[in-house]
Structure 1
Amino acid sequence: MQNEGPRYRQIAWQLKTAIEEGKLGAGRRLPSSRVYAQELGVSRVTVENAYGELVAQGWLERRGQAGTFVSEHLTLKPVAVEPTWFGGEEPHPQPFQLGLPALDLFPRALWARMMGRRLRTQTRFDLALGDVCGEMALRQAIVEYLRLSRSIECLPEQVFITSGYAASMSLILRALNGQGQGMWVEDPGFPLIRPVIAREGITLHPIPVDNEGMNVEWALANVSDARFALVTPAHQSPLGVALSLPRRRQLLDWAMHNQAWIIEDDYDSEFRYQGKPLPPLKSLDAPQRVIYAGTFSKAMFPALRTAWLVVPLPLVGAFRELVRQIACPVPIPGQQTLGDFIREGHFWRHLKKMRVHYARRRRWLEEALLAQGFDVVAQQGGIQLVVNISGDDRRLAAQARAAGLAVQAINDWRIAGRGTPGLIMSFTNIVSQNMANEQVAALRRALT
């Protein structure tokens, strides 16, 4: 990487390299200088100078109020059209990118002060490995949060801290000796967890989803001998429906009578904008067959790499025995700071602010989509929305990704064949109605 010379030239070199390698395709719109400057932590003038240099060299072109674009007159490497599920390589979020909370809304200065306070006041004992299950202060804070927000009664001993959803899933399946067993999974459902499950020797049984969530009756009639069921009952991913109360009872009854385990992925229940959410399965878990999985990636930021499990009391010994061999991978200062953040009320205030902004940002995107003739599926919460379309949604989503728009096709989330076509997109990082209008206009151009 080129580190010599003024900062604006370093930025220009990075952008030029991305264009040459095909990561920024011809016609791709760059972020505004203000947004890009905030992401890089530099002045707006620095970014303007970098853009100006590349415009002069012919790499970029200005289009008035529409913004700055990669020149369409360049001969570039083809842009990959495979799904970029959660980004990570881009210097800023791609339009409609899933899995990211609103990065501009997180109180970074407050977090930095709290982290600094923890580092200044740490003792020599904080340099040791710590509890293999996770810091007790953080686990206690999660217990109190779940009691108030989700009506889940549990003990800190039942909480295990992990480095993310995939790590949580691996821990569950290893602790319960799941190899060779079957698992019900929602179809469509989150695709990135499937390889993790398959690596643990589990057979996936896709179960259709309708307007009441996973079709438990269909599952009982076709694959009743599974040992696990993975569900997103609060807000099904990606369709957004809630698992109905009768089906929740069916699922709990099946687990109790078959000695099976339900893995409840409660990935974004904090964000509901209409009505009162149904209680989590874990709050109804009298037979103690539900393992509750949560994460801070959607409510705070993904780089925190912190998730948690609440396991039934009879399983605590088996889980603790396994984590003794691997220990908690999340750094102790981060766990301690997160515990302080929750306990001092900052987490509640952050969620309250996010709900207000997300309701507005969802409305901006929905209005822009409707103005362009898209059919938006009504949902009561979440950090993404679904648009019904006609035609091959996989091909159309690939066209959109080639134009730098990170939408995904519902049929790419299916296992058993194809169903109703649609596109999934996020609104969390849309900061104005104008931005929503521009991104949707670009989507319409890419699709037609």
Structure 2
Amino acid sequence: MSRFSLAFHLDPKLNAPLYRQIYQRVKAAIMEGQLARGSRVPSVRALASELGVARATVENAYGLLTAEGFLQSRGQAGTVVSAPESLSAPAPSPVRESKARRPINPMLPSVSSLPFQLGLPALDAFPRAIWSRIVSRQIRHTAINDLGHPPLTGVESLRHSIARYLQLSRGFTCRPEQIFLCAGYAPVLDLIIGSLLQPGDGVWLEDPGYPVTQAFFRAAGAVPMAVNVDDEGMNVPQAVKEHPLARFAVVTPAHQSPTGVTMSLSRRMALLDWAARQQAWIIEDDYDSEFRYHGQPLPSLKSLDTQGRVIYAGTFSKVMFPALRCGYVVVPESLVEKLEAYSPLRICGTPPLVQSSIAEFIEQGHFYRHLKRMRQLYAERRGYLKQALTAAFGADVLQVTEQAGGIQLCARLNANLNDAAIARRAREQGLAVQALSDWQVLRRERGDALRPNGLLMGFPNITSPQEAQALAARLSAVVCANQK
């Protein structure tokens, strides 16, 4: 049995029954201090949904933990950890001074809410009433100490909530002190680069890949090394052969951005093996892996990391809403002091009120319920757009790429069409379509067979088949005009 299966999935083939596996995972989290005394665990319904098991299975696990004194039921208030205080997580390391580095200010994409906008979750489906009550309660309970300078690395309650979420839902264990809160993905990159990168360092970048990542590393003086993406994700054997001495690799293994493919297990293990040999760092951008349409979310690459080489980046912008301006990074134990020392130069820009509200949103179980609803909704809304595009275009013009999750759709174009020109014209018509070729790391000639040619579209805010049909018709008019 592979570590991949054991670490992240409940395995019916194991001798231990499913309830016992849940029991062991939660108990380990408590014993290691990831679940502190008094913290609330997910409800039976929420955890059963997250793991894809019957509620009775979770009830049996919780019952055993309660009988052994690890959990305590408080009725409508939920189930909380009742373990001794001695099992709490260790105290954070002291902050140290660091030399200032040149700030990185690349040109970032503008923000909009036009049709097909990428990275925008379903804003109409977010539970705003619940969120408003939580924020109002946080404001009413503001203490004098809350009015001072906030923690540089993030509010403690949210760091603990994220650690518990990652332990129970993403399959790896970390201390809250390994988690650094930032105001989104770009500040996460800024923190990592400022703390670790030296000008001239080589970095593997997925090709095609997220333009913001490319911009930050170029601005920092890194040497971008384009690595092709195929149906198994980043082509690690190619990268090892052509660029073995790189110091960083940036990957989106669960749902490659932008193609949507999943990195195979063999590629993941090869990437980890290279990083261990070269003492290189892997930055795992886990930007929307929660939204898998069928089955459980895929395990993270970090859960396979036994050598402490993976830096895990997550965000609340896509699972909740972008206006939160809140992301986070989980670093290996060996890097905690380095990032703590650099943090005074890149303090967390997310207001403490927002951070505390997110923590309460998670602890009360609303976060897990929201994720479950969004998985179903996004599968439905992606279906609206796929059907509309299929009806509006012939298969010889545009084909929708199959994918198992995510909040953006990739459609391949006929080789005779220019995706960049189509995307420009679409934006002029108020459609926030992006060209797949604009996500390249290395620019190639239009006739090159390796040049990606397609369109990227966000679909979460398409609320009906009729709306999808109208948008597909507008896009079809743009493509037809470009063919003339």
Q: TM-score range by the shorter chain?
A: 0.7 to 0.9
The match for 2:425 among 399, 405, 429 is 399
Q: Secondary structure at the match of 2:456?
A: strand
Counterpart of 1:402 in structure 2: which amino acid?
E
What do the CA deviations read for 1:122-150 (whole angstroms, capped 9, x no partner)?
A: 11000111321111100000011111111
- Kindly provide the amino acid, as one letter, of the partner of residue 183 in structure 2: S
- Note the residue ranges of structure 1 that are not aligned, 5 or more in a row: 1-83
Question: What amino acid is the match of 2:433?
Answer: V
Match of 1:355 in 2: 375
Alignment of 1:252 with 2:275, yes or no, is no
CA contact (8 A) 1:103 1:429 kept: yes
Q: How does 1:338-417 map to 2 (within 5 A)?
A: 338-373=358-393, 374-390=398-414, 391-417=417-443
Counterpart contact for 2:117–2:432, Cα < 8 Å: yes
Aligned-partner residue type, residue 280 of structure 2: A
Query: 1:399-419: CA deviations, max 9, x gaps?
Result: 222211111111011122341
For the 8 Å contact 1:234–1:278, the answer to whether it is kept is yes
Judge which range, 402-411 or 415-424, deviates more: 415-424
> Is the 2:290–2:297 contact (alpha carbons within 8 Å) kept by the matching residues of 1?
no
d(CA) in 2 for partners of 1:154, 1:365: 39
Matches of 2:357 and 2:435, distance apart in 1 = 38
The letter of the residue matching 1:106 is F
Say if 2:183 and 2:349, in contact at 8 Å, map to a contact too.
Answer: yes
- The alpha-carbon deviation at position 277 of structure 1 amounts to 4.5
Matches within 5 A, 1:49-60: none
The letter for the 2-side match of 1:406 is A
The match for 1:163 among 183, 201, 204 is 183
2:461 counterpart letter in structure 1: N
Q: 1:429 aligns with which of 440, 461, 474?
A: 461
What's the TM-score once normalised by structure 2's chain length?
Answer: 0.73
Question: 2:52 is matched with which residue?
Answer: none
Q: Distance in 2 between matches of 1:293 and 1:197?
A: 16
> Which amino acid is the alignment partner of residue 421 of structure 2?
R
Give the 3-state SS of the residue equivalent to 1:206 in structure 2.
strand
Give the partner amino acid of 2:403: Q
Which residue is equivalent to 1:102?
Answer: 122
Q: In 1, Cα distance between the equivalents of 2:424 and 2:327?
A: 31
- Supply the distance in 1 between the matched residues of 2:452 and 2:365 (Cα, whole angstroms): 43
Cα deviation, 1:25-61, whole Å, max 9, x if unaligned, reads: xxxxxxxxxxxxxxxxxxxxxxxxxxxxxxxxxxxxx
- Which of residues 227, 232, 241 is equivalent to 1:221? 241
Report the CA distance between 1:275 and its aligned residue.
Answer: 4.4
SS in 2 for 1:308: strand
Say how many residue pairs are matched.
362
| Distance in 2 between residues matched to 1:234 and 1:330, nearest whole Å | 26
Cα 1:389–1:101 change in 2 (3 A) is: same
Contact 2:116 2:431 in 1 (8 A): yes
The aligned residue for residue 69 of structure 2 is none
2:132 counterpart of 1:112: yes
| Aligned twin of 2:225 | 205
Is 1:295 aligned with 2:321? no
Maintained 8 Å contact 1:140/1:156: yes
Asked if 1:147 is matched to 2:167, the reply is: yes
Cα distance between partner residues in 2 of 1:431 and 1:206? 37
The residue identity in structure 1 corresponding to 2:269 is R
Distance in 1 of aligned mates of 2:329 and 2:441:
26
1:52-131 to 2 correspondences below 5 Å: 87-88=110-111, 93-131=113-151
Contact kept in structure 1, 2:205 and 2:441, CA below 8 Å? no
> Residue in 1 aligned with 2:103?
none
Quick one: distance in 2 between partners of 1:237 and 1:436? 23
- Kindly provide the amino acid, as one letter, of the partner of residue 392 in structure 1: N
Between the aligned partners of 2:455 and 2:284, the Cα distance in structure 1 is 25
Taking the aligned partners of 1:147 and 1:370, their CA distance within structure 2 comes to 40
Q: Which runs of 5+ in 2 are unaligned?
A: 1-106, 445-450
CA contact (8 A) 1:236 1:243 kept: yes
Cα offsets for 1:246-282 (capped at 9, x unmatched): 1111100110010100000000001011345542110
Percent identical: 49
Q: Distance in 1 between matches of 2:375 and 2:298?
A: 18
Contact 2:182 2:348 in 1 (8 A): yes
Check whether the contact 1:86–1:99 (CA below 8 A) recurs between aligned residues: no
Within 5 Å, give how 1:265-276 maps onto structure 2.
265-276=285-296
- Check whether the contact 1:255–1:261 (CA below 8 A) recurs between aligned residues: yes
Q: 1:293-313 CA deviation, whole Å, 9 max, x = no partner?
A: 000011111110000000001
What is the 5 A alignment of 1:28-43? none
Matched with 1:243 is 263
- Which one is further off, 338-347 or 321-330? 321-330
Q: Report the alpha carbon displacement of residue 193 of structure 1 after superposing the two structures with TM.
A: 2.4
Aligned to 1:185: 205
Task: Write the letter of the residue equivalent to 2:426.
Answer: A
Deviations 1:205-229 (A, max 9, x none): 1110000000000001111110000
The equivalent of 1:447 in structure 2 is 479
Matches of 2:230 and 2:192, distance apart in 1: 27
Question: Match for residue 319 of structure 1?
Answer: 339
Q: Over residues 351-396 of structure 1, what are the superposed CA-to-partner deviations in whole Å (9 max), with x where a residue is unaligned?
A: 1111111111001111111111331110010001111111111111
- Computed over aligned residues only, the root mean square deviation of the Cα atoms, in angstroms, reads 1.5
Further displaced range: 191-200 or 135-144: 191-200
- The answer to whether the 8 Å contact 1:187/1:413 transfers is yes
Q: Does 1:329 align with 2:361?
A: no
Is the CA contact (8 Å cut-off) linking 1:87 and 1:97 kept in structure 2? Answer: no
